[in-house]
Amino acid sequence: MLTQIKFGTSGWRAVMAEEFTFANVRRAVSGIARYVASQKPHGARVIVGRDPRFLGETFCSMAAEILAAQEITPLVVAEPAPTPAFAHAVIQNKADGVINFTASHNPPEYNGIKFSTPDGCPALPEVTKKIEGEILAGDAAPSAPVPAATPPATETLDPKPAYLKRLAEIVDLDVIRKAGLRVAFDPMWGSARGYSDELLRSVGLQVSTVHDSRDVLFGGHAPEPDDHLLEDLRKKMRETGAQIGIATDGDADRFGIVDADGTFLQPNYVIALLFDYLVESRGWKNGVAKSVATTNLINALAQAHGVELHETPVGFKYIGELIMQDKIAIGGEESAGLSIRHHVPEKDGVLAGLLCCEAVARRGKSLGEQLQAICNQVGSYFPRRENFRLTPEVQEKFTEKLRSNPRDFCGHQVSQVVRTDGLKLVFSDGSWVCYRLSGTEPVVRVYTEARSEKGVEMLSTAAKHWIFE
């Protein structure tokens, strides 16, 4: 029986040698090729690239052959590159899409395929549904494409120079240089090796790097720039006296930020900080976007700055649409993804780290001090995210409960029910809880936020009780 290939919020991912097999990769790429050919029957060009995972080069070669057999010219990127660099390249080169072999921040046994459309945006659901339909159609008529008499030649592409040039236009490197900022960088053995650090060193800054080599096992854990995996970065910061530590995940679309004192800054807070900073430094007040599961500190700042707020479903493609329409100065998700106005409509972890460096350099204050100043202005917010695994019985019962419209939640009066994505209950005191069922495993993701540490602790307990009661 053939594996059903489904593209989620950020592509298709699976464990290598289980579902992510050569046969399934052929099916997926063939489906993408047929979709592209249906949109542009002649002269289509698709970028093919990867992160540093095992067999990435092989998958790229396979994809190039499949595309060429469909008379689509593959633009093959030889070295691993950040997902946002691919997004920039597809726009700049007027290509017809990107096939990026990456499993992002997932553990090393995973691989995946991200497909981006010509606008640089992650493929929207209407596109991925068509691709899934093409995969099924190929399964029903599994005849291999007949190679053209003169197949299009494979071309090569290096997205790095143009992408770094664009970042240098967006980020005020001169401000960072004049401040003499000392930076530590952790690419986590991933795609951003030679990107963030190279750009900062190009203006004479001292940058110390850890995990700057290819390791397909990513040190034996997921390449995720989360608090508990950044101890080597903290050690390097202490050794070098760095004023900030910046990190990126496996494909560099997510960020991790460590303050001068070693404190990890929640992505929720980083997005809020950079929103505030961009309004101050750039004067951008056209709008701000956040996913439904992201902190309401952004709501409070939007109100304080007189900026329109957009709350989207989870999935950066929805924020990317707003960037393309120039409706927002910045958009972000609590899962460590953001991008800004006049940039790619895709998460950019490289950009996030560089903007944090700029904010520290220009303001002359640590990120923690800047966050405290914001909280003094609009109040404190304490967000939390937890995952709970469900038995089949609990999942069935809880799925039914998510369809309800509760007026009372464990003693909290519900003032608003939001169904932008999952179920979000907003309470009269401004605290909230949001439940989202995973589409790939029996897990519910629970997001809670309150105005005090004690409040979020109590709300988290209540949120768990509501699942299993």
pLDDT tens, position by position, 117-168: 999 999 988 999 999 999 999 998 866 555 555 555 789 999 999 999 999 9
**pLDDT value, residue 419:** 94
pLDDT score for 410: 84
pLDDT number for residue 457: 97
Determine the residue type at 431.
Answer: S
When pLDDT is cut at 50, 70 and 90, the band that residue 1 belongs to is low
How far is 206 from 16, CA to CA, in rounded Å?
39
Q: SS3 breakdown of the chain: % helix, strand, coil, rounded to 5?
A: 40, 20, 40
Domains, the chain, ranges and CATH?
Answer: 12-158 (3.40.120.10), 162-378 (3.40.120.10), 382-468 (3.30.310.50)
- What the block records as the tokens of 166 is 């664009």
How big is the chain, counted in residues?
469
Structural contact between residues 431 and 459, judged by C-beta atoms closer than 8 angstroms: yes
**What pLDDT is recorded for position 148?**
53
Give the span between the Cα atoms of 242 and 224, in whole angstroms: 21
Distance CA 156, CA 69 (A): 17
**Which SS3 state, helix, strand or coil, does residue 409 take?**
strand
Instruction: Please determine, for residue 453, whether its predicted confidence score (pLDDT) is greater than 60.
Output: yes
Give pTM, 2 decimals: 0.95
- For 231-247, the DSSP string reads HHHHHHHHHHT-SEEEE
The contacts of residue 2 (CB under 8 Å, 6+ apart) are 27, 139
For residue 249, how far is the Cα from the chain centroid? 9
Identity of the amino acid at 89: A
* Strands 412-418 and 330-333, bridge-based pairing: unpaired
Q: What would the mean pLDDT of 213-218 be, rounded to a whole number?
A: 96
Smallest CA-to-CA distance from 7 within 440, 442, 446 is with 440
Q: Please state, in angstroms and rounded to a whole number, the distance separating the CA atoms of residues 450 and 461.
A: 12
Q: Which of 243, 248, 278 is nearest to 263 (CA)?
A: 243
Q: What is the pLDDT of residues 428-452, one digit of tens each?
A: 888 999 999 987 679 999 999 999 9
Residue reference for tokens 């303050």: 259
CA 335 to chain centre: 7
